[in-house]
């Protein structure tokens, strides 16, 4: 559509600049060429006898509407090669953006966490009480990753737009969809480790961090001072909030020592006297999310006729390590949340937690042990583990244990949801 | 059919043809086409730079900024080998087209 109002040379060039989706250097190159053309054209028209104003006006008219010229110049410069270059530059922008944003995020988070923790410790010292944090190392890392992903969204969109020759509003639809899908996939099945619900929440929000970054992307230079202040402000809210929400979290704890949690009868009948008498010692431990429990038996014949020996992990409740009388099996647990195999070890195996000297078991003694993964239940923070078996009378008995261990879910966000759906 | 519509199909040929004689900058290319056509082809210049940039992106032209004798620095365009081949193909196509049009219109085929 032709311009209704005549505009001057500078406004004409500005309208072209506004319509070009390229980076500043490329825009400048194009504008210099058009400006030189206008100068030549005006000079020629003046030489032909037109006054300066009319000559300039005519020179502008001969180039047509600036908006249309910008559109046609953009189309002319948009080639498949540019798209390829945009993909490469976009990948680099994503990587560098994540690294920059992550490092900046870690720095800010650590500083704010230390400050908040100091304030909280002072408050506890002055007013009493206790506090803990939901923002463990995983959450801190994931929050920093969120900042990194946000920066990647900012950078990728502007870089891809400029290199491919598309306006940011068009490019961000592509970068948001593509980047969001990639990051979403990574958040679901790529990240694996110890997860609490805040970690899963942060993981699942990562595509949104990227999307917000892509949507806020501009052609302006990055990073800006304003951006740094925004991130600092965001973390000043998020970190104290996480610390407050996490008040009451418990540290790692484990033990046994003949404790009998309330509800232990649901695990099985008490150990038969003959079986208990044959046991000369036992123990267990947890490593890498697997809890192992064992007992050394003087006369294996005492378990003749027993079947379905297994290690069971039941969800527990209670303030671990504070008041043993509060320890209990979760009243809502109708069965073990995890089960593992149990059996007699072959002679010569040395369970390090049973005989600290590392010597082989004395003749005639055998060890019954079982192991079970206790880090696959999102809702279990305390696991009671025991070896159970079905006796000759067809009823299930506790053979060894139970002992408790604090635990946390370990896996991917996908595993987390699968466990919830399966009721673990 | 108006001249501007005829021009749309021949911009590549016109630009490449005037550049066969040597490198030129944008304004010179437009002026040369105007002069060569006896001012018959003078539809304005809005088409020129998109065409030049499209040909440059296609590898038919190379461009470089240089000082000129008078006025500001200019972006000079030069025909590449790809451009020369493209010019030959375009010229041949145009000849065939023009001959066919003349045949249909009743004029001599080799005029």
Report CB contact under 8 Å: B45, A62: yes
pLDDT of residue A196: 84
Show residues of chain A in contact with B46, CB under 8 Å.
62-65, 68-69, 72
Q: Name the residue of chain A whose CA is nearest to B77's CA.
A: A33
pLDDT of residue A354: 46
Report CB contact under 8 Å: B46, A43: no
Cβ–Cβ contact A83 with B under 8 A:
no
Exposed, middle or buried, A64 (CB in 10 Å: 0-12/13-18/19+)? Answer: middle
pLDDT of residue B27: 92
pLDDT of residue A61: 92
Q: How confident is the model at residue B26 (pLDDT cuts 50, 70, 90)?
A: very high
Show residues of chain A in contact with B26, CB under 8 Å.
33, 36-37
Tokens, residue A276: 């208990």
Q: Name the residue of chain A whose CA is nearest to B75's CA.
A: A33
Measure CB to CB from residue B57 to each of A29, A35, A76 and give the nearest one.
A76
Report CB contact under 8 Å: A39, B72: yes
Show residues of chain A in contact with B74, CB under 8 Å.
33, 36
For chain A, what's the residue count?
424
Cβ–Cβ contact A77 with B under 8 A:
yes
Nearest to A175 by CA among A161, A185, A165, A191: A161
In a domain, B95, yes or no: yes
Cβ–Cβ contact A164 with B under 8 A:
no
pLDDT of residue A206: 95
Measure CB to CB from residue A40 to each of B27, B44, B46 and give the nearest one.
B27
**Per-residue model confidence as pLDDT tens digits over A64-101:** 999 999 999 999 998 888 888 999 999 999 999 888 88
> In this model, does residue B107 exceed pLDDT 70?
no
User: CA A254 to CA A382: how far, in whole Å?
Assistant: 9
Question: Does residue A307 contact residue A396 with C-beta atoms inside 8 Å?
Answer: no
> In this model, does residue B60 exceed pLDDT 80?
yes
In B45-100 the beta strands, taken as DSSP E runs, fall at: 61-66, 74-79
Show residues of chain B in contact with A29, CB under 8 Å.
75
User: CA A295 to CA A325: how far, in whole Å?
Assistant: 25
Q: Which domain holds residue B65?
A: 3-105
Report CB contact under 8 Å: B57, A81: yes
pLDDT of residue B91: 93
In a domain, B111, yes or no: no
User: CA B76 to CA B19: how far, in whole Å?
Assistant: 10
pLDDT of residue A135: 58
How many Cα atoms within 13 Å fall on the side-chain side of residue A223? 20
CATH number for position B30:
1.10.10.10
Report CB contact under 8 Å: A40, B71: yes
- Reported as type and span, the H/E element at residue A21 is none
Distances (CA, A) of A349 to A288, A309, A344, A346, A359: 21, 19, 10, 6, 9
> In this model, does residue B90 exceed pLDDT 80?
yes
3-state secondary structure of B17: helix
Question: Does residue B75 contact residue A28 with C-beta atoms inside 8 Å?
Answer: no
Report CB contact under 8 Å: B53, A34: no
In a domain, B110, yes or no: no
Helix, strand, coil shares, percent, chain B, to 5: 55, 15, 30
Show residues of chain B in contact with A32, CB under 8 Å.
65, 72-73, 75
Cβ–Cβ contact A61 with B under 8 A:
yes
Task: Return contacts of A401-404, CB within 8 angstroms, 24+ apart.
Answer: A401/A256, A401/A284, A401/A293, A402/A256, A402/A259, A402/A261, A402/A264, A402/A267, A402/A314, A403/A254, A403/A255, A403/A256, A403/A259, A403/A284, A403/A293, A404/A253, A404/A254, A404/A255, A404/A256, A404/A259, A404/A261, A404/A316, A404/A320, A404/A327
Reported pTM: 0.70
In a domain, B26, yes or no: yes
A:B CB pairs within 8 Å? 69
Spatial CB neighbours of A112, under 8 Å, sequence gap ≥ 6: A232, A235, A236, A239, A240
Show residues of chain B in contact with A80, CB under 8 Å.
none
pLDDT of residue A2: 46
Measure CB to CB from residue A33 to each of B44, B49, B57 and give the nearest one.
B49
Cβ–Cβ contact A28 with B under 8 A:
no
Q: What percentage of residues in chain B have a pLDDT greater than 70?
A: 89
* Domains in chain B, number: 1
User: CA A152 to CA A146: how far, in whole Å?
Assistant: 10
Nearest to A137 by CA among A104, A113, A103, A115: A113
Q: What angle do CA A81, A82, A88 make, to 5 degrees?
A: 95
In a domain, B15, yes or no: yes
pLDDT of residue A246: 52
Q: Which residues in chain A land under pLDDT 70?
A: 1-6, 128-136, 220-224, 241-259, 318-326, 346-364
Measure CB to CB from residue B53 to each of A39, A65, A77 and give the nearest one.
A77
In a domain, B93, yes or no: yes
Cβ–Cβ contact A69 with B under 8 A:
yes
Question: Residue A422: how many CB atoms within 10 A of its CB?
Answer: 10
In a domain, B74, yes or no: yes
According to DSSP, the β-strands at A290-297 and A366-373 are antiparallel
pLDDT of residue A286: 73
Cβ–Cβ contact A34 with B under 8 A:
yes
The alpha carbon of residue B42 is apart from the nearest alpha carbon of chain A, in Å, by 10
């Amino acid at each position: 559509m032709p311009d209704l109002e005549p505009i001057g040379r500078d406004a004409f060039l500005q309208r072209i600049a506004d319509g070009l989706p390229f980076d500043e250097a490329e825009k400048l190159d194009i504008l210099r060429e058009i400006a030189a053309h206008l100068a030549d054209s005006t000079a020629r028209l003046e030489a032909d006898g037109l006054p300066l104003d009319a000559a300039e006006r005519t020179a502008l008219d001969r180039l047509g509407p600036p908006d249309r010229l910008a559109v046609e110049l953009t189309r002319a410069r948009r080639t498949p090669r540019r798209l390829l270059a945009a993909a490469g530059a976009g990948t680099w922008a994503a990587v560098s953006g994540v690294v920059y944003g992550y490092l900046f995020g870690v720095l800010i988070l650590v500083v704010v966490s230390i400050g908040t923790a100091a304030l909280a410790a002072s408050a506890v010292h002055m007013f009493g009480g206790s506090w803990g944090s939901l923002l463990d190392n995983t959450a801190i890392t994931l929050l920093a990753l969120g900042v990194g992903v946000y920066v990647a969204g900012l950078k990728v969109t502007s870089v891809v737009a400029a290199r491919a020759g598309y306006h940011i509003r068009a490019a961000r639809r592509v970068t948001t969809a593509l980047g969001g899908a990639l990051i979403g996939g990574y958040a679901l099945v790529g990240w694996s480790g110890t997860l609490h619900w805040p970690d899963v929440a942060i993981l699942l929000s990562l595509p949104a961090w990227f999307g917000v970054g892509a949507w806020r992307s501009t052609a302006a230079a990055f990073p800006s001072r304003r951006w740094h202040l925004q991130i600092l402000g965001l973390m000043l809210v998020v970190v104290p909030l996480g610390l407050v929400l996490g008040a009451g979290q418990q540290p790692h704890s484990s033990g046994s020592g003949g404790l009998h949690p309330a509800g232990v009868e649901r695990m099985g009948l008490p150990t038969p006297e003959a079986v208990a008498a044959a046991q000369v010692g036992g123990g267990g431990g947890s490593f890498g999310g697997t809890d192992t429990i064992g007992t050394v038996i003087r006369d294996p014949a005492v378990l003749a006729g027993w079947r379905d020996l297994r290690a069971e992990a039941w969800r527990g409740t209670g303030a671990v390590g504070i008041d043993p009388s509060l320890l209990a099996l979760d009243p809502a647990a109708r069965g073990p949340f995890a089960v593992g195999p149990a059996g007699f070890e072959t002679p010569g195996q040395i369970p390090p937690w049973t005989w600290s000297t590392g010597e082989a078991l004395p003749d005639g003694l055998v060890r019954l042990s079982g192991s079970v993964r206790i880090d696959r239940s999102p809702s279990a923070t305390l696991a009671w583990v025991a070896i159970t078996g079905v006796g000759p009378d067809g009823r299930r008995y506790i053979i060894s244990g139970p002992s408790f261990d604090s635990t946390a879910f370990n896996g991917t966000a996908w595993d987390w949801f699968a466990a919830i759906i399966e009721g673990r | 059919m108006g001249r501007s519509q005829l021009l749309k199909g021949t911009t590549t040929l016109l630009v490449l043809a005037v550049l066969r004689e040597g490198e030129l900058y944008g304004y010179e290319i437009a002026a040369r086409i105007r002069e060569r056509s006896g001012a018959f082809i003078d539809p304005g210049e809005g088409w020129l730079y998109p065409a030049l940039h499209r040909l440059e992106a296609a590898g038919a032209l190379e461009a470089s900024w240089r000082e000129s004798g008078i006025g500001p620095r200019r972006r000079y365009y030069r025909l590449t080998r790809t451009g020369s081949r493209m010019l030959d193909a375009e010229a041949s196509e145009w000849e065939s087209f023009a001959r066919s049009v003349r045949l249909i219109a009743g004029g001599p085929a080799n005029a």
